[in-house]
Amino acid sequence: MIEQKTKQFTWDYNEKSDILNVRKINKKSDGNAELGDFTVDFDTKGNVIGIEIMNASEFLGQVGITKEELAKLNDAELTVTQKNNNMFVWMILRLPHNIEKCIPLPTPIVNEQRQMAVT
C-alpha cells in the first residue's frame, strides 16, 4: 500500500484488504457515518472530507475498474454538491492509460444539528 497525494487529496488502496481511502489533505474528521461498505468522514461543519470503501474492487468492478487498476491509481478526488437538503458525492478516479471515471457514491444526510441520518 502506497499513499499518494495531490494538492487537495490523499488516497491509498490496499490490495490485500481491498480498501480504498480518499480524503482531503489537512482536514480532521469530526465524525463519520457508515453505509454498508462505505464510511463517510465529516468535518465540524458537516462537510464531507473523506470516504473509505471496503471491498472496493467489488463495488468499483461494477463500473469496469479492476483491482489491478486500483493498485495503480494516478489520482483520486471527491466532488461534493449540496442542493436543497440533498448531498451528492462523486469520486473521480484517474486510472492508467489516461482513463477517468466519475462514480456516484451513497451519502448520508446531515441535518443542521449535525446528526447523521441514514435513509
Residue 56 per-residue DSSP state: H
What is the average per-residue pLDDT within 76-83?
A: 87
Q: Is residue 95 within 8 Å of residue 76, measured between CB atoms?
A: no
What is the average per-residue pLDDT within 8-25?
A: 94
pTM reported for the whole predicted model: 0.81
Q: Between the CA of residue 74 and those of 28, 43, 92, 96, 118, what are the distances in Å?
A: 24, 26, 11, 7, 32
pLDDT given for residue 54 in this prediction:
97
Cell numbers at residue 9, please?
487529496
Q: What is the pLDDT of residues 86-96, one digit of tens each?
A: 778 899 999 98
